[in-house]
Amino acid sequence: MVEGVGAEEFIFGKPDLTKLVLKALWAELHSQCFGQGVNE
């Protein structure tokens, strides 16, 4: 992690493709934890 940069800023400061990948991974994590009923 880069010093002086918060985790949120570090993540969301990345290119759109990375954000899409992270969003997909986050959605997959939630689907595994809470079941397929959680869809936004």
**What is the Cα–Cα distance from 26 to 36, expressed in whole angstroms?**
13
Under a CB-based contact definition with an 8 Å cutoff, are residues 14 and 25 in contact? no
Low-confidence winner among 2-6, 14-18, 29-33 (lowest mean pLDDT): 2-6
Rounded to two decimals, what is the model's pTM? 0.41
Token pair for residue 40? 């936004």
Q: What angle do CA 30, 33, 38 make, to 5 degrees?
A: 50
**Would you place residue 5 in the very low, low, confident or very high pLDDT band (cuts 50, 70, 90)?**
low
Place of tokens 């397929």: 36
Amino acid, single-letter form, for residue 32: Q
Q: Is the pLDDT of residue 17 over 60?
A: yes
